[in-house]
Structure 1
Amino acid sequence: MAAATALVLGGTGEGRELAALLAGVPGLRVLSSLAGRVANPRLPVGEVRVGGFGGVDGLVGHLRAEGVTALVDATHPFAERITANAAAASARTGVPLLVLRRPGWTERPGDDWTWVDSLAEAAAAIGDRRALITTGRQGVGAFRRGLARMVDPPDEVAPGVRVLLDRGPYTLDSELDLLRDNDIGVLVTKDSGGGMTSAKLDAARALGVPVVLVRRPPLPPDARTAASAGEAAAWVRARLG
C-alpha cells in the first residue's frame, strides 16, 4: 500500500501535467478528481474520479476515507467555489493544500484591454459592439447578444446570443478568420492565462480589436501557491518525508 496519497483537483492542463509528473513516484498514490462539468474531458494518467464531493463536508470525508496526505487544487483559475472548499477542508483535516495556478495574461504593446471584476460588468462594457464571448458555458447567461464560443452547449442562452461549439487549442490563423468572418468588434474573455487559448488575444492585437478581460477571483487568505506543475510536483514529493 502506498505510504502517501496525493489528491489533485484537476480539469486543467496543469492538473494533467502534474498527474503525469507524479505517476510512478515510489511510495505515492495519485488520485485526480474532475468536476464532471465538461463532456468527454481530457483525462489525466492514473487513477481518476469524476463528479463533485458535495461541498466541504463531502471533501473532508473523501480526504479521510482515501487517506489523503497532500491536496493540490489544480482547477481553473475561476473555479472559486472549489478552491474555497479545498481551503476549508484542508483547515478542518490538517491535510496540506497547494493551489496550482498558471500565471495570468500580460498586456503587450498594441493591446487595447479593459479590465472588469465580473461577467455583468463585462456585458455592460460591450456596448453596441458585436462581441466574441469566450467566458465559458456557465457565464454566458450574463450576456444578451454576441457570438459565444464554448466546449459544451449551455443550459440556457439569450435569444441574441449565437453559440459556437468548439474546443481548443486554437491557432492564430483560425482566430483571425473567426474575428474577421464574424465582424467582431470586441473580444470578451476571462484572465485564464496559459497558451491553449491565448491565440485569440494575439488575433485581437493584430486586428486592433479591443478586449474586455474579467479579473480572477482572489485566492483564500494565506494560500500556498505554485505557478507550474513542476513546482507543484516538487511540493508533493517533499510531503513524502
Structure 2
Amino acid sequence: MRILILGGTTEASALAARLAGRSDVSPLLSMAGRTSDPRPMPIPTRIGGFGGVAGLAAFLRKESIEAVIDATHPFAAVMSRNAAEACALDQVPLLALRRPAWTAQAGDRWIDVPSMQAAVQALGESPRRVFLTVGRLELAPFAAAPQHTYLVRTIEPIGDALPVAGVIAVQDRAPFHEDAERVLMERERVDVVVTKNSGGSATYPKIAAARSLGLSVVMVARPDKPQGVDEVASADAALDWLENLHGRAP
C-alpha cells in the first residue's frame, strides 16, 4: 500500500512512527519545508511544495499513491484544499487527520477573532505587552500596531517579518511546559497572549499559564477546511481507516 502523508504536525509524526518498518506499506512523508531543521522522521521524507493541484495530482500518479493522509497544520488551508481537489481528480482515497480545536474552560479570558487582522484590532490602541505566538509567516499584520511591545516566539529567526521597534524575539520549539510558560510571561510582564487555535497538547501550556495569571488570550479561529472528507483525530484512528480501506491492517 503506497501512502502519502502530508505532514508537519505531531499527528503526522505519530502516524509515521506507526507505519515505519512495516513490510506491507510504503509510506512517504511530505513536509512543506518552512522549518530549516525539521526533526528526523523514521520513514522516507520529501520536502517542498507540489505546484498546486495539478502538480500534486501528477505526483500521485507518478508515485502510484493509493491513499493520502492530510495531517497538515490546522491552519494549512491551501494545502488541504489542494489535496482534496487533487485526490478527487483520480479518485484517490483521502483522509483528514485533524486534531480537535481548543475550547475555553472556566477561568479563560478568550477574545475570539476570525483573522490575524482582527487580532491586531483586538489589541486596542493603548500600548500593551503582547506575547505573539502565531508563527513567523503571520507576523506582518501586527506591524500596523507598532505601539505595542511584542514578545515573539518562533522556531525560525523572524528576520524582518515584524518591522517595529518593540520586538523581543525568542526561538524555541514545542513541547512547552506550563510552569516555564508562566515564568516567561511574568518575567516579560505580558499583558495579553495572541495565538492560533492550533489544538493539541504541545503548545497548550501557554493557554493554561495565561489562565492561571488571569491574562486575556486573543484566539484566532481556524480557517475553513474542505468538507465531505473522511476525518479522524488521532494516528490510531488513521490506521483503522487504512485497515478498513484495504481490508488489512498495516
**Normalised TM-score (structure 2):** 0.92
Asked if the contact 1:6/1:236 (under 8 Å) is kept, the reply is no
Code of the aligned partner of 1:136: G
Report whether the alignment pairs 1:151 with 2:155: yes
Count of residue correspondences? 238
Report whether the alignment pairs 1:142 with 2:147: no
Structure 1: state its 5+ residue gaps: none
Q: Shift of residue 165 of structure 1?
A: 1.3
Report whether the alignment pairs 1:232 with 2:234: no
Counterpart among 173, 176, 180 of residue 179 in structure 2: 173
Code of the aligned partner of 1:182: E
Counterpart among 95, 98, 103 of residue 98 in structure 1: 95
Q: Shift of residue 227 of structure 1?
A: 0.6
Structure 2: state its 5+ residue gaps: none
Code of the aligned partner of 1:190: K
Q: Shift of residue 9 of structure 1?
A: 0.3
Code of the aligned partner of 1:36: G
Counterpart in the other structure of 1:80: 77
Counterpart in the other structure of 1:212: 218
Counterpart among 165, 170, 185 of residue 164 in structure 1: 170
Code of the aligned partner of 1:65: K
Report whether the alignment pairs 1:69 with 2:73: no
**Normalised TM-score (structure 1):** 0.95
Matches of 1:76 and 1:221, distance apart in 2: 16
Code of the aligned partner of 1:68: I
Matches of 1:100 and 1:202, distance apart in 2: 25
Matches of 2:246 and 2:47, distance apart in 1: 26
Matches of 2:191 and 2:17, distance apart in 1: 40
Asked if the contact 1:15/1:44 (under 8 Å) is kept, the reply is no
- Secondary structure, in 3 states, of the residue corresponding to 1:143? helix
Matches of 2:201 and 2:24, distance apart in 1: 33
Q: Shift of residue 67 of structure 1?
A: 0.5
Counterpart among 52, 56, 70 of residue 55 in structure 1: 52
Q: CA RMSD in A?
A: 1.2
Matches of 2:118 and 2:10, distance apart in 1: 28
The alignment-based identity, stated in percent, is 44
Report whether the alignment pairs 1:6 with 2:3: yes
